[in-house]
Amino acid sequence: MLAADALSDRAARLAALRAGLFERPARVSPKFFYDAQGCALYSAICELQEYYPTRTEAAIFERHREEIARHLPRGAQWVDLGCGDGAKSWPWLEAVGARRWVGVDISPQWLRISLQAGTGRFPGMALAGVATDFTRPLRLQRVLARFDAPPVFFYPGSSIGNFTPDEALALLRSMREHLGRDGRLLIGVDGLKERHVLEAAYDDALGVTAAFNLNVLRVVNRELDADFEPRRFAHRAQFNARESRIEMQLVSRETQVVRIGAAERRFDAGEAIVTEYSYKYAADGFAALLRDAGFGALQHWSDERGWFHVFVAAAA
């Protein structure tokens, strides 16, 4: 089953994209990163030496899976938020004896891939996919009501960091509303650490992250009939300590005028387009955010260096 819910229509989505480019500073939502080429580049980023989050979270999961699973309901509906290809979920389905997998992603293409993979790997399990945009309120109650089992909302990879704290709070509250008495949230969160480690993770020596960031201009060209030239912009990733976030930008190498449909936008030399924020949290800071969102019974795991955090929480 593949359903669409809370997806803005194409015209509204492109209008928001165009409006963001005329703001000062200009902005492009990170959801536009993930065309086919962007997805391939992101997969490559996850294998880079500098990009610690994926392997650090995976090591926490591998080391503590049995203990974490004891805090999750057996026979649950496993709700994989931002599922991608679904691969992060597969070991958990066996660990908790899940009876149903529900993939949730903005990309119907990724959902089809993950549904096909899940069918091959778990032929007896119920599978469903929901295409939705996490910048809009989650509305999964009807999908979950079709199956009599408590949900586990699985949100790995510190994707919550792409939202401002206020947006993250709203999203967490939306998740909590779905859990009921027996449901749980299992979430991964990137921690605070030295600036050089954080910035290297988003500006690797091979330039893969730079290519990923610049690729969004090709997406904009295709979607808005624009004529951005990626070579005339430079990738920049810097840590804003005051806001506790990595800021990823595309910086104009020179003064230039870009056509965006029938309009033009001047970029001065050094002017930036903001493409992504990635907020980092101390463990106690994120625990406080969870409590503000209405969660309780918090359980926490981390790696030896405290670089990455995993939480299990229930509705308070």
At 15, the pLDDT band (50, 70, 90 cuts) reads very high
Is the residue at 164 inside a domain? yes
State pLDDT tens for residues 95-150.
999 999 999 988 777 788 889 888 889 988 999 999 888 777 888 999 999 999 99
What three-state secondary structure class fits 66?
Answer: helix
Segments forming the whole domain that contains residue 183:
1-225+281-316
Is the residue at 160 inside a domain? yes
**Residue 194, pLDDT score:** 96
At 1, the pLDDT band (50, 70, 90 cuts) reads low
In the predicted model, is pLDDT for residue 50 greater than 90? yes
**Residue 136, pLDDT score:** 77
Is the residue at 68 inside a domain? yes
Contacts of 280 (CB under 8 A, 6+ apart): 161, 190, 191, 192, 193, 198, 244, 245, 246
**Residue 83, pLDDT score:** 86
Q: Residue 140: which CATH number?
A: 3.40.50.150
Is the residue at 274 inside a domain? no
**Residue 3, pLDDT score:** 56
Check: CB of residue 115 under 8 Å from CB of residue 129: yes
Strand partners, 184: 152
At 4, the pLDDT band (50, 70, 90 cuts) reads low
Is the residue at 254 inside a domain? no
In the predicted model, is pLDDT for residue 283 greater than 70? yes
Q: What are the strands, taking DSSP E only, across 64-124?
A: 77-81, 100-105
Amino acid at 187: I
State pLDDT tens for residues 172-214.
999 999 999 999 999 999 999 999 999 999 999 999 999 999 9
Distance (Å, whole) CA 91 – CA 122: 11
Is the residue at 20 inside a domain? yes
Is the residue at 234 inside a domain? no
Distance (Å, whole) CA 232 – CA 256: 9
Amino acid at 121: R
What three-state secondary structure class fits 186?
Answer: strand
**Residue 193, pLDDT score:** 95
**Residue 169, pLDDT score:** 97
What three-state secondary structure class fits 238?
Answer: strand
In the predicted model, is pLDDT for residue 152 greater than 80? yes
Q: Classify residue 261 by its DSSP letter.
A: T
SS (H, E, C) 132-145: CCCCCCCCCHHHHH
Please state, in angstroms and as integers, the Cα–Cα distance from residue 266 to each residue in 24, 221, 233, following that order.
11, 16, 13
* Structural domains in the chain (count): 1
Is the residue at 248 inside a domain? no
